[in-house]
Amino acid sequence: MASWQEISRRYRDVWTGRGQGVATDGSSWFVTQNDKNPGVSRYSPDFSRLEARAEIPRTLAGHVGAVSIVDGVVSIALENPEAVITFTRDLKHLDTVSIPREVERDGIPHLAWCSINPANGLLYTCDWNFASVLEAYDPTTGSPRPDRNITLDEEVHRVQGAAFTPTGVVYLAADDRLNLREWFRTFIGVDEARAQFPGIHCFDVATGAEQDYLRVPVSKWPPFREEIEGLGVGEMAIDGVTAHVHLSYLVKDHTWRRDSVIVRSFVVDKPHEL
């Protein structure tokens, strides 16, 4: 991944308030936000024109997560309660399906992201804390499909977004940072020492083997704390160059100003292998 060409753009607009993810179908951007106006928006390739918008009220979910689009269906992860809400490309509501999630080590059930695997049509997500398995669900009923789970050969911490490709690869966006308790236990030797790996992790869907990793350093210090969010895979022309993998991260502004979102797009030298 280190040899990929990067195109970065910083945005500060109405859609960047607590921006949670980005995806593309090659013609438009789809972005989610979790501020006082939670929802999903569709924007033109240069983000200059709002093409469609759908609100996601707090009565439906306490947290709006990452977005993905596969075969014209926009899927968005919701938390409190955990569910997946789907829309058409024009952001007309299709369905809302409950996804049963177990309470994790922090005492909370998480559903930060969801994405359809085009190889089998199943919906996938994973634990937010030290994920070792991508869990499969029936996208129409929300029923677990453990027989189609994908076991990863390396744990990934704080998975915020993911995207599958038709060639059998899944990209995970990880905001991998240890909290104070985890860091302290590692420091005093209670837990096995581990490095922190924020960035993009690439796994083979068939074997669960990690094929590649791109580190993306982020700052965690206020008032401009950065947080890796969603990830999308798909061709999008940016400044006349076609990019293929798109990572968004949020620059949280805890002063009076609005949050920014940085979209880091990567040009892959062998896009047919995505």
**pLDDT averaged per 10 residues in sequence order, the chain, 274 residues:** 79 94 97 96 96 96 97 97 98 98 93 96 96 98 98 96 94 87 75 83 96 87 81 93 94 78 88 64
25-223: which CATH topology? Neuraminidase (2.120.10)
Question: Considering the entire predicted model, what is its pTM?
Answer: 0.93
Q: What is the pLDDT of residue 239?
A: 86
Give the domain ranges of the chain: 25-223
Query: What is the pLDDT, as a whole number, of residue 3?
Result: 66
What are the CB-based long-range contacts (under 8 Å, 24+) for 127-136? 127/159, 128/104, 128/158, 128/159, 129/104, 129/105, 129/157, 129/158, 130/105, 130/155, 130/156, 130/157, 131/155, 131/156, 131/157, 131/159, 131/172, 134/162, 134/170
Closest CA to 26 of 187, 238, 205, 212: 238
Tokens standing for 169?
């690869």
Q: Residue holding tokens 């983000």?
A: 47
pLDDT of amino acid 224: 61
Nearest to 210 by CA among 256, 150, 140: 150
